[in-house]
Amino acid sequence: MSFRSGFVAVVGRPNTGKSTLVNALVGRKVAIVSDKPQTTRRDVRAVLNGDDYQVVFTDTPGFHKPRTLLGSRLNELVGEATQGVDAVVQVVDARAGVGTGDAFVFERQLKGFDGQKLCAVNKLDLLRNHDEVPQLAAAAELGEWDEVVPVSAKTGRGVHVLLDLLLGRLKDGPAYFPIDEVTDQPLEVRLAEIVREKALAVTRQEVPHSIAVVVEELEESDTLTTAHALLIVERDSQKGIVIGKGGETLKTIGSRAREEMELVLGRKVFLDLRVKVLKEWQRDPKALQRLGF
């Protein structure tokens, strides 16, 4: 029996549902999700294994016109993620409407790409039926596609159709990752991202872009994993928001993160979570380097 494999990059402007779609395609949560734009800050690889195939999906940051050094670095990641892959899926948001931001992504990331190009028209669960066709037509007009696929990453509609189309395009090749591996993210990064996801969910509008999380140390005993994590913000006022009155907000972030960490690790976790101010880190090359960007 022949074995097939391939790499698929998933791209799009911010907040189109790329991470939710990648999680739906592989059938488990690999990438963090939130309703805040620019949630994804790394090119996260998610591995889907079948009896005779392996697909490696790369979830990428939202491609946008950057306003900070971090934004520029995230855009570079998107460009790197589309190099040498077998297919690129551009995700567009049907509810927000297909528009100039999507055309910008196609122009910069897909126009010169000579592999398979698919467009996933996402968030159709949020549209009335008669609104679907104009959005599918607008997506088709963005450029030369091999397929345009209507999907709802949230409900699962169309996800298997998209997956089948991708599997049908795989070529004979090896397994690039061990069959029990679901992501290439180091454990510390996965745990840090869980904390950031919970922080995004409970903090106010002015804080999310300024949040970064680093797991500085993991200590293992027979029954317990202790994670020492720093939640980093850019200003003292943001530190106050993240900690909350009487420490309540930080406590909520910590307890939600710890619960999910225990699911990931399959064991008890003690999370030591502290907040630190690193002024204007999104614009500081040295700070970005320390934070792994």
* Cα–Cα–Cα angle for 119, 29, 212, rounded to 5 degrees: 95
* Banded pLDDT at 5 (limits 50, 70, 90): very high
Q: Which helix (H) or strand (E) holds 22?
A: helix 18-26
Please, what CATH class does the domain formed by 4-172 belong to? alpha beta
User: DSSP characters for 165-216?
Assistant: HHHTT-EE---SS-TT--B-S-HHHHHHHHHHHHHHHHS-TTSGGG-EEEEE
Kindly list the strands in the beta sheet with 224-233, ordered across the sheet, starting from the edge strand earlier in the chain: 212-220, 224-233, 268-277
Average pLDDT over residues 32-46: 81
| Mean of pLDDT values over 121-133 | 90
Dihedrals phi, psi of 142, to nearest 5 degrees: -65, -30
pLDDT at residue 161, as a whole number: 98
From 37-41, 129-133, 159-163, 225-229, the region with the lowest mean pLDDT: 37-41
For residue 205, pLDDT beyond 80:
no
Given CA atoms 282, 275, 33, 267 in this order, what sign does their dihedral have?
positive
Task: List, in order, residues 6 or more apart from 251 with CB less than 8 Å away.
Answer: 244
Band of pLDDT at residue 293, cut at 50, 70 and 90: confident
Task: For the chain, give every domain's residue range.
Answer: 4-172, 187-290
For residue 154, the model assigns a pLDDT of 94
What are 116's two structure tokens?
A: 């398979």
- The CATH classification of domain 187-290, taken from the options 3.30.300.20, 3.40.50.1220, 3.60.15.10, 3.30.420.40: 3.30.300.20
Q: Is the pTM of this model over 0.95?
A: no
- Secondary structure class of 251 (helix, strand, coil): helix
